[in-house]
A = this chain, B = another copy of it.
Amino acid sequence: MARRGESIELAVLGLLHEGPLHGYELRRRLNLLLGWGLGRVLSYGTLYPALKKMSRSQLISEDTSTPAPVTGRPRIVYRVTDLGREEFQRLMSEAGPVAWEDDTFGIRFSFFASAPSEIRLRVLEGRRTRLEERLARARADLARTQRKADRYASEYHRHGVEGVEREVRWLSDLIAAERGRQESRSSPARPVPGQGGASTTGSPEATTG
Contact = CB atoms under 8 A, between A and B. Distances in A.
Interface in A120-140: 134, 137-138
A32 B195 contact: no
Given A32-B145, A39-B102, A202-B166, A193 B156 contact: no
A165 interface: yes
Contacts of A35: 160
Contacts of A152: 109-113, 192
A152 B32 CA distance: 14
Size band of the A side of the interface?
Answer: 35 or more
Interface in A6-32: 32
A141 B200 contact: no
Contact of A200 (B150, B155, B160, B162): B162
Contacts of A111: 152-153
Contact of A151 (B39, B134, B191, B200): B191
Given A32-B145, A160-B38, A193 B150 contact: yes
Nearest to A150: B113
Nearest to A162: B200
Identify the interface centre among A145, A156, A160, A165: most chain B CB within 10 Å of its CB: A156
A37 B192 contact: no
A142 to B, nearest CB: 9
B160 A170 contact: no
A39 B200 contact: no
A94 to B, nearest CB: 17
Contact of A166 (B37, B166, B194): B166
Identify the interface centre among A38, A112, A151, A162: most chain B CB within 10 Å of its CB: A38
A159 interface: yes
Contacts of A192: 150-152, 155
A103 to B, nearest CB: 10
